[in-house]
Amino acid sequence: MFIGDVGRPDLAQKVASDLTKEKLAGHLFESLRTKIIPLADDIIVYPAHGAGSACGKNMSKETSDTLGNQKRTNYALNLALSKDQFVKEVTDGLTEPPQYFPQNVMMNIQGYESITNVIDRGNRALSPEAFEEAANSTGALILDTRSAQVFAKAFVPNSVNIGIDGSFAVWVGTLIPDVKQEILIVADNGREEEVVTRLARVGYDYCIGYLEGGIEAWKASGKETDTIFSITAEELAEIGNAKILDVRKESEHKSEHIIGAQNLPLDFVNHYIAEVPKEEITYVHCAGGYRSMTFISILRARGYNNLVDVMSGFKEIKNSGMFNLTNYVCPTTML
């Protein structure tokens, strides 16, 4: 039970060949009708997930409600729906789940390592030399969890930036396909264990250490750093015929976008990298500047050196009043 929604019935279907989303939706129907709806209306619902989570499609940002109000307002608790109608309603419009979801299901079934061991392994302070050696010898992903603009000024080459203060778990799960991927962490001082813990909460248990002293220690040791160039919306407006890439979700792009901007949602970056111009200078924006930096960092690690970040994203683009915007999907939209 969520506020405004119920759990998705498609997340466990890959565990067994006979589990379809329709069959699981049928089980959900029976559970709701026999276990939840008979309960008293004054019971408080604490949903565990809210708006923005990939665990549902219609979830509210509210953090609690009464079951009675949910019975009146939650589409999935509508007693007028037959089982077949419920199955159709709850399975309609589901987006592709993040790749880590089925892996988490298997972890829940088969068991997992002690959280104490996971944190002890990940919360290992590594000198710049040891950090570099671990990166080279293990093939670990370097995950930099600092804020986007701080990251842009100096980072360990080939790092991926997913900020701890954004939708961290969602984007880790979306962009790192294998929960067993070894990960090395660059974090703000004092937040290393928080990063390890939050990764473990979504099944990423294989952190193998963090950069002691952070990027300042890396620079002090004389090691190379990389940077990503960012510009303001006003500076973008002054560039004639700029190639613009919008990495927001398709629905956001459709709602309103710069005329001529190409839409390539961050969610699908691993599928459509070949569609991103490699030699042409391209200006990348999202809604507020979080996703664009993640997008650019992923491609920077793969040799794309001509991507420029637009600070503060579409919010500032719109507020500037300097762009021609439209809410129709232009022919260059990819998805």
Are the beta carbons of 184 and 208 closer than 8 angstroms? yes
Helix (H) or strand (E) holding 66: strand 65-66
Give the pLDDT confidence score for residue 52 in this predicted structure: 65
Residue from 35, 54, 36 nearest 45 by CA = 36
84-103 confidence digits (pLDDT tens): 999 999 999 887 776 677 77
**Residue-by-residue DSSP string for 42-82:** TPEE--S--TT-TT-SS--S-S-EEHHHHHHH-GGG-TT--
Residue 227: pLDDT above 70? Answer: yes
Domains 100-220 and 230-326 share a fold: yes
Torsion of CA 274, 174, 290, 145, to 10 degrees: -110
Average pLDDT over residues 273-298: 95
Distance CA 29, CA 21 (A): 12
For 33, counting Cβ atoms within 10 Å of its Cβ (0-12 exposed, 13-18 middle, 19+ buried), the class is middle
Average pLDDT over residues 186-206: 96
Are the beta carbons of 131 and 223 closer than 8 angstroms? no
Of the candidate ranges 52-61, 135-144, 264-273, the one whose mean pLDDT is the lowest: 52-61
Residue 332: pLDDT above 50? Answer: no
Question: What whole-number percentage of the chain has pLDDT above 70?
Answer: 94
Give the per-residue SS3 of 27-47: HHHHHHHHHHCCCCCCCEECC
Residue 28 dihedral angles phi and psi, to the nearest 5°? -65, -40
Multiple choice CATH, 100-220, 3.40.50.11740, 3.40.50.720, 3.40.250.10, 3.40.50.1110: 3.40.250.10
Residue 236: pLDDT above 60? Answer: yes
Task: Tell whether pTM > 0.75.
Answer: yes
Give the pLDDT confidence score for residue 13 in this predicted structure: 60
Are the beta carbons of 14 and 103 closer than 8 angstroms? no
CATH of domain 230-326: 3.40.250.10
Give the pLDDT confidence score for residue 18 in this predicted structure: 72
Q: Which two tokens stand for residue 305?
A: 């050196």
Q: What's the mean per-residue pLDDT of the chain?
A: 91
**How would residue 217 be classed by pLDDT, with cut points 50, 70 and 90?**
very high
The rounded Cα 190 to chain-centroid distance in angstroms is 23
Distance CA 25, CA 17 (A): 16
Contacts of 136 (CB under 8 A, 6+ apart): none
Identify the DSSP state of 236: H
Are the beta carbons of 12 and 74 closer than 8 angstroms? no
Boundaries of every domain in the chain: 21-91, 100-220, 230-326
Contacts of 13 (CB under 8 A, 6+ apart): 19, 20, 21, 24
Distance CA 241, CA 280 (A): 12
